[in-house]
Amino acid sequence: MSPDTKSYVLPASSGAAARPHVMGILNVTPDSFSDGGRHDDAEAALAHARLMIAEGADIIDIGAESTRPGSAPVSQEQEWERLQRIIEPVAALGVPVSIDTYKAETARLACAAGAVIINDVWGLQKDPAMPEIAAETGAHVIMMHNRLEAEPAADIMADMDRWFERSMDLADRAGIPREKQILDPGFGFGKTMDQNFLVLNRLHEFAKHGLPILAGASRKRMIGAVLNVETDERLFGSLAVHLIAMQKGADIVRAHDVRAHADAARILAAARAERVL
């Protein structure tokens, strides 16, 4: 692991005067739904990482496979080919790096190169090797709720609780400490528009699992469906959703537009503390 890499320390409980952390999105893919192809060159990726850090990013989340609906899967070898020249130099910038992957071998290589968080959109349940590999790396793990397809009649909150319990059990059995486990409700993944907003309104209920919560709705279709705007015009909607999420208990928000979210998190922290300095 790069000697310049920071370990990750979670923010204090959102119930206190905490400042939620902002995870800046760095996609090195040609086909991501919002910024595909913009940062797939190593120099462009590094420049964007520097910009997000300057704007207040607490974490840089690097992904090399689009998870938008209808996107084509990539092999582990292709995924790592896109990542291998980027992770170490970004980690050397001094901000914790997260690797957005559900593939255990990619996670292992990324953590060896400096990543300290594994962001698994299948909650450790897709690749059977992921729990053990994640435990061996010592990284934090973000375990997202996911479904193959939306089911309007499903009790989505109960479904999510069952999913999280399975993910937590896999993590526990592998030896990943509870203080390194994080839950993500997975906005936009296998949920109807109504279910997405129901989950947002009831996000605080997942506090019963005793783990930090990450919310990632940046520029997603749930925002476009309400505002009828294209992806690049969804900043204000993204900020509104994430502010609600932070007030409902989210400890981390994953965002494309870092400065706006970092400013909002600081204002929220000031309001919780009832003081500015």
Catalytic amino acids? Answer: 220, 254
Q: Are 215 and 264 in contact (CB under 8 A)?
A: no
Q: Which helix (H) or strand (E) holds 146?
A: none
**CB burial string 87-122: b at 16+ within 10 A, e below:** bbbbbebebbbbbbbbbbbbbbbbbebbbbbbbbbb
Residue type, 139: A
- The tokens of 244 are what? 């609600």
Integer-rounded Cα Rg, in Å, for the chain is 17
CA distance 229 to 221: 9
How deeply is 266 buried, as exposed, middle or buried, from its count of CB atoms within 10 A (0-12, 13-18, 19+)? middle
**What sign results for the dihedral spanned by CA atoms 84, 55, 232, 25?**
positive
Residues near 245 by beta carbon (within 8 Å), at least 6 away in sequence: 200, 203, 213, 215, 217, 253
